[in-house]
Every structure is written in structure tokens, then in C-alpha cells.
Amino acid sequence: LQIDPSAVTAVNAKVMNESTQDVEPTQNWREATLIVDAIHCPSCAWIIEHAVKQMPRLNASDASVIDKPIEVRVDVSMRMVYLRFDADHYSLAMIQEQLANAGYPARESHAQQLQQSQFKRDLKALFLAGFGTMQAMMFGEPLYWRNADLPPATALFFAWLSALITFAVVGYAAKRFFQGAKREWQARRPAMDTLICCSILLSSGLSMLSLIRGSSEVYFDAIAMFVFVLLAGRMLESNLIQRARTSLHQAKPISNAQLELLDGTCVSPQALKLGMQLRAHQGETLVADGVVLNHACQISTAILDGESARKHLQPGAQVHAGSVVLQGDCDYLVQAIGGQTKLAQIAELSGLAMRARLPSAQRQSRLATQFTLVVLVLALLSALTWSFLQADRALAVSLSVITVACPCALALALPVTRAMAYARLQRSGVLLLRANALERLSEIDCLALDKTGTLTHFTPTQVSANNREPCDVRVEVSGSLDVVLAKAIVGAMELGSRHPLASALHWPSTLGVRDLVEHAGVGISAELVDQSENGRSLGHWQLASPTFFGLADRDAIVLKGPLGTAHFVVEERLVDDAIDAAGRLRNLLPELALLSGDHTNRVARIANSLGIEQFFARLQPEQKRAWVDAQQSLGKKVMMVGDGINDAIALAAAHLSVSFAHGSPLAHAQSDVLLLNDKLSNLPMMLEVARKSERICQQNLWFSKAYNLLMIPCAMLGWIGPTLAALGMALSSLLVTLNAARLLRESTAVPSATVRPEKTAVTLTPEKTAVAQGSTKRVIA
Amino acid sequence: MNIMLVLIPISLLLIAVAIYAFFWAVDHDQFEQLDRAARSPLEDDLQPIAESSSTSAQVTPVDHA
């Protein structure tokens, strides 16, 4: 792998610049996530933002500061409020109080109780509405037949009973709609709850009026049914969003292995408790936050802060879950577990895309408000017109118009679909890190893959428990160097390196390293010391490609030092599902390319076995970037998949970039999508889900537009009665939600026609010189 | 038709009873963890003991005799 160091520093500088923009000068900034169950439409987001922004602040002595030290973002689909505020001026309790006053009781995202009670309230309301609907219909039934047997007095009695039950339903079950309408009214942003309440009030008022006049021309059963179907829709929606939200919180890259306690016993991760004393061996990952005990150790915190330098920790130092032990055992006292660890907090933050507000979602919110106003005007106009034509029908017609119009379908179409797509991707270990990553994902028509670490890996198939030797490496030595010493030297030098190749060279070593320098894209150099002989120096050693040392170009890594040279021939194997995934990707995308910095023969073999026609070997990072740029200047939307630091600048250039959780932090910083596991089948799955969600978004939007354009004029003409209108509105929003829920289904259109080759891993050895034949290739050598 | 005067109060009473019963059930967590209840007869009685002593990996059966 060859990298121009200056390019990497340039990318590094860019990353640094981006991150420093976010850092505020004051130290006291705090982040908090609140869950607000009352959020159900985009205008709620607006109300919450204004409520928070208008809050009086503590210590407001420095009135010169105009902009308030608080940031708030509301995610409608996830019902979450993300806050960043200066703890000198605001407290979380203050913000929660302000939100509660605005009608939005909020809780911190890790609390579970309120959620439970909300679910129970919803369940009771739904039952009452459903049961009440049936009773109201039962009592209303005789009124529909109007046969001579039924004396008018009895009919009126039944109508009164129907009214009684319906008012119980409206009073209890429809409470949340009235609360919503009140909030919308306070914010002067009428939306769907306003329409719902208008139709409920208007229809009950009309029915009551005719009841008092002694007529049994009433709509009570329709009102109860309206409330029931709407509630069912709301509950379904919040249930789906809840599922999406929990899957987001489940995304924690922690393994399931048994943990070793200091006293030698084992414990499962689920049974881990505060105050336990754990031991993590070299190479293992810490599972909890805590304090180092007993003796010093060296750890890498790359997953937490991207810092690749090893850290020497003395007893008493803080450690965090996700850190990897590099040298010595790490004994630590558990102080925070699960959701309280720093790692979990980072994982929560990684729902970055959730936090960013899409311009299209805001457009949607404005549209819903405008739509509501237009509907109210139309209802008024039709009432006026009908009062001239047929005065007794005027109120009923305007009631139908208000009831049939459904801005909810419009407002729900986008956020619900997005939430479902996120949940689906999250469940398979795909994290979307940037706003509109999903939209961009659906546009992709060209895919560029890195080879090493993406399509192939070096981890051996089996490692015996006590012998950690990877079985796929051949070592050829020359000079006075022997194989054991060569392995020990490389093992010491590669310890802590995150390059995928390094995992194959992790031999246990008692040697120590001094002045270790990683030359990006070239190799590693260090001075080796023998710790068993009082730090006797073994001289200066370098690890790099053969061409670096002026040796014959071949498929190996060369170790060179005072005692001689050693060639390490690493046999890489394809990721298990690579062939399957490549087949599916070929069906999905017109263009597929393999960009690698590796040896031409190797790249050709891999490309051939995967059926990828375009491949490029021996590429420098800038050449990868140039290829991506060239494709994009042709109007293609390129998705780049890579994991190494040599991919970082190509990732930055691509329309959408994907990296792996095991990859380098630099690659993470550039990526829009993070894959938490190594499954390549996630790539075609991702594309399928994104395209499907885009399709469903469009379907939902078209459906709600068509529905409203068709039904409102019909209602204005008096063709649709209030009962039918109520059914239509409730069902249309239910349909939109159910359509979006299709995304959650596991099988997202796997074409059955795809040839599935045998699943065994294909080992590619340099000996098998079956170099690609037949298919056309363009090779940059 | 006079039977109505008896039947309707009875039906209203039944409605009230049904709603009360359902609300009681919801309040007493009868709709929580619906899957778990179906499995509970199959679970060992020793389960709570095993959970309480979470630190030890192996659980020795308690001799009730």
C-alpha cells in the first residue's frame, strides 16, 4: 500500500478544521437528548424550537451576547429533541420545565418509565374508542332502517344512547387530538390535529343540535369510529418509531464473549455489575468504563477518539469501554456499564443523520400548515355556497370537506418512511452518519471498492487457543535472521497497527520497540530492544514493500535490519459473502470497479473471482481520488467503499462514502455510512433499502396528493357524507404508515435468479497463477 | 318493546364492566411481555436462583428434599 504522506496530512487538516468548527470556546457546553412523545408532526418541532429559544437564561448579566448559548434540533420521526447548551446559562431541568409548559413533557433518552405509561394510556384509549364505536353503532343501527315498527320516541332514545357513548369516547380517547390542536393553536401553526378537532367538534355539534330539535339525523357512530381509526394509526406509528429508536440504541459494538474477573472466574456481559474487577488480556477490548488497578498497561483508544498512539496508563488512570489492550493485562474496576459508558454515548451520537434536519422535511411541514388553512377556507366557501343552494345541507357538506382532507398523509409520508429505512439498516449493522445519506444512497449508479480490508481479509480461518499464530503466512528468511526472531520483531512492530494486514502479523513478542514511526503508505520503522537482556538493542528495523528496498517486486512484505531480510507472504482470503454480494451488486449497478494499491496479480485474481470487469492496481491515494472525480465529472454518482487511510481522500471525493467499523479513524471521519460488521452483503442490501425507501416516499407523496385532490372536490360537491369522509381520512394516513412499514420486512427483494456460488471461502494463493482470462480488462500497472 | 327498558340498562352495565376489566388488566401489567408468559411454564424453577447469583458461572441444583 502506498500513500503520499502530504495527501494524508491535507485530509487530516481538513478533518481537524471541521471538528474545530464545532468546538465552542466555553468549556461548559453540555449535550442532552430528550424523548418527547407528544411530537407527531413537523409543526411540533417548530413549537419546541421556539419554546427553547425564547427561554430566559440564568446569569443574564452580559446582555451584550445576542445569540443565545443554546442549540436545539428536533427529530419528528424519532420524537427526539437534541440539545447543546451552555451549562452556565441553562439547566436541563429548566429546559424540561419550559417544554412541559409548552405542552411537551420531555424525558432524558435513557429513562423508560414514561414510555410505558404512555403505552398504557394509548392502549386504554384505543380500547375505549374501539369498544365505544361498536356500542354507538349498535344503538345507532335501528336509526338506519327507519322502519315503521320503530316509534320516533324509541329512535330518539337510541340516538341519545349513541350520543352518550360517543361523548365518553371523545372525552377520553380523543384527548390527545385536542391537546395537539391546542398546541398548534398556541403556535399559530394549524395542522392535522386542528382539522381532526374541527371535524369532531363540528360533527358532534351538528348531531347534538338535530338531537335537541328532535330529529334522529345524527353521526355519533361515525365520530366514534373516526377517533378509533385515527388512534389506531397513531399507535401503529408510535410503535414503529419506538422500534426504530430501540434498534438505534442497540447499536453497540461490544462483543458477547465471557469476561474474566480478577479472581479467575468468568461472567457474561449481561451479568456485569458496577464495582466488579475485570481483567482484559493483551488484544482484548474493554467492555466498561473504569479505573486501572494493580499495574501499568498500554492501551489504544482509537475507537473512542481516533487517537492511534498507544497510551501508557498507570494504576488509577481512567479507561473507557472500547479501548484495546496493547501490552500487559489491564486490570480495571468497573465504574460505568452499558448505556452509561463513553462508547455508548458516542454510539448514540453516531445517529448524526437523525439530528440533521432535511430541507425537504421542513418544506413538508410548511406544506401541511398551508394545506390546513386552504382546507378551512374551502370548507367555509362550500358552507356559504350550499347555504344558498340547499341551506339544510350546508353544515354537513363543510363537515365532510374538513373531515376528508388529510394533511397527515402528506406530513407523515417522509419522516415515517425515513425512520423505517434507518431502522432496517441499523438492524443489519449499517449506520448512516450524515444527513441525506439515504437520499444520496438511492442515487448511486457506480461503485468503487477497495480491496484489502474490504473484499479480503487476513485473519486466519482458525487460531488455536494457546497458539495465536496465524496459519496463512509464509516466512522466507535470509542472512543470520531466523524465522522465530523475524516473527517476534514484526509482532512487536505491528502491535497496535490498525492496518488489516497487521492482524495477520500479530505474533506474540517479548521484544520492545523504541522510536516507532509509521510512514503513511510506506511502512514502519523502529528500533528493537530485547527486554529480557536488559534492553539490549537489536538495531533499527524497517517493514515495507519489496520495491521500497529496491528488491524484486513481488507479493510480499519485507522486513529488513542489521541481521538480514525476511519476506512475509500473506495469503489473503475473500470475505465470506464477497462472491454473493458482488453478484447482487452487479445486478443493481451498471458500473463496478476495484481500486487497489496492491500488486497487479493479486488484484486481477480477486477481480476475476468476483466477476468485476474494471480493476486498477498499484493506485496511489490521489489516483483513486482522480478516478472517482473522473467518473463524477461524467455525471455518475460514485459510492466509494474503503477502510484504510489510503482511501480517505477518495472517500472524501465520492458522492457517498462507506467505511468499516474496523477501519481507520481517518476513513470514518470521511464516511457517510459506517458498516458495523464486515458483511459485504450489507452493500447490496443498503442500496436496495435506499431505493425502496425512495420509491415508497414517492408513492406516499403521490398517493396523498391524489387522495386529497380527488376527495376534497367530491366532498365539496356533496357526494361524500361525513361518515365516509371520516373513514377515508383515517384510512389514508394508516395506509401511508403501513406502506412505509414495508421497509422493515427482512427480505428486501433478493433476486432469486442470482447465481449463488458455494459459500466456502476462496483462498487465493500466489501459487495459483490462474490469472484472469476472457473478460475485458483495463489495468493501470 | 318494554323489554328494552331492561335490556338497555343491562347492556350499559356490561359495557361498564368490560371497560373496567380492561383498564384493570392494563394497569396490572397484563399486556407487558406477552411472549414471556407463554414460556414461563417451561422454565425451571431454579431460574431465579441462577439469576440472583450472577457471579458464579455454574449453578448447583438445590436439593429440596
What tens digit of pLDDT does each residue of A60-107 get? 555 444 456 787 777 666 677 877 777 777 888 888 888 888 878 777
More confident residue, A234 or A654: A654
More confident residue, A291 or A343: A291
Contacts of B18 in chain A (CB under 8 A): 131
Q: What is the pLDDT of residue A773?
A: 34
Q: Bridge-partner residues for A477, per DSSP? A: A566
3-class SS shares of chain B: helix, strand, coil, % to 5:
60, 0, 40
pLDDT single digits (tens) A14-40: 443 433 344 444 456 677 777 777 776
pLDDT single digits (tens) A742-772: 877 765 444 433 333 333 333 333 333 333 3
Q: What is the pLDDT of residue B59?
A: 41
Q: What is the pLDDT of residue A345?
A: 53
Q: How would residue A282 be classed by pLDDT, with cut points 50, 70 and 90? A: low
Interface touch A131/B54, C-beta < 8 Å: no
Interface touch B8/A161, C-beta < 8 Å: yes
- Mean per-residue pLDDT over chain A, rounded: 73
Q: What is the pLDDT of residue A360?
A: 54
What is the C-alpha to C-alpha distance for residues A431 and A350, in angstroms, rounded to an integer? 7
Q: What is the pLDDT of residue A746?
A: 60
Instruction: Give the residue from A118, A120, A272 with the most B CB atoms within 10 Å of its CB, the best one to mutate.
Output: A120
Q: How would residue A421 be classed by pLDDT, with cut points 50, 70 and 90? A: confident
Interface touch A124/B23, C-beta < 8 Å: yes
pLDDT at B56 over 50: no
Contacts of A117 in chain B (CB under 8 A): none
B→A contacts (Cβ < 8 Å), by residue, are 1, 4, 8, 11-12, 15, 18-19, 22-23, 26-27, 31, 54-57
Q: What is the pLDDT of residue A333?
A: 85
User: What is this model's ipTM?
Assistant: 0.70
Q: What is the pLDDT of residue A127?
A: 93
For residue A717, which of A389, A392, A408 has the smallest C-alpha distance? A389
Mean pLDDT of A668-695: 81
Q: How would residue B17 be classed by pLDDT, with cut points 50, 70 and 90? A: very high
Interface touch A124/B22, C-beta < 8 Å: yes
pLDDT single digits (tens) A457-501: 654 433 333 334 444 567 777 777 777 788 788 878 877 665 656
Interface touch A265/B31, C-beta < 8 Å: no
Lowest mean pLDDT among A14-28, A159-173, A249-263, A550-564: A14-28
Contacts of B31 in chain A (CB under 8 A): 120, 123
Q: What is the pLDDT of residue A765?
A: 35
Mean pLDDT of A403-424: 72
In A, minimum Cα distance to B50 occurs at A271
Mean pLDDT of A326-337: 80
Lowest mean pLDDT among A393-407, A409-423, A641-655: A409-423
Interface touch A267/B54, C-beta < 8 Å: yes
Contacts of B1 in chain A (CB under 8 A): 151, 154
For residue A397, which of A720, A710, A144, A708 has the smallest C-alpha distance? A720
CB burial of A504-518 (b: ≥16 within 10 Å; e: otherwise) equals bbbbebebbbeebeb
More confident residue, A124 or A191: A124
- Kind plus residue range of the DSSP H or E element containing A645: none
Residue A657 exposed, middle or buried by CB count within 10 Å (0-12, 13-18, 19+): buried
Look up cell 390527545; give the residue. Answer: A176
Of B4, B19, B57, the CB nearest to A266: B57
Of B11, B18, B55, the CB nearest to A265: B55
Lowest mean pLDDT among A263-267, A382-386, B5-9: A263-267
Q: What is the pLDDT of residue A349?
A: 44
Strand residue runs (E) in A700-763: none
Q: What is the pLDDT of residue A740?
A: 81
Q: What is the pLDDT of residue A669?
A: 62
The distance of A296 to chain B (nearest Cα, Å) reads 26
Mean pLDDT of A312-339: 77
DSSP letter for A762, please: P
Mean pLDDT of A604-631: 84
Mean pLDDT of A198-222: 82
pLDDT at A228 over 70: yes
Q: Own/partner pairs for A485-489, CB < 8 Å, 24+ apart?
A: A485/A563, A486/A559, A486/A566, A486/A568, A489/A528, A489/A538, A489/A541, A489/A559, A489/A561
Mean pLDDT of A623-637: 88
Mean pLDDT of A613-640: 86
Look up cell 482470503; give the residue. Answer: A573
Q: How would residue B39 be classed by pLDDT, with cut points 50, 70 and 90? A: low
Mean pLDDT of A429-454: 79
Mean pLDDT of A278-307: 71
Q: What is the pLDDT of residue B14?
A: 93
Q: Is B64 helix (H, G, I), strand (E, B) or coil?
A: coil
pLDDT at A325 over 90: no
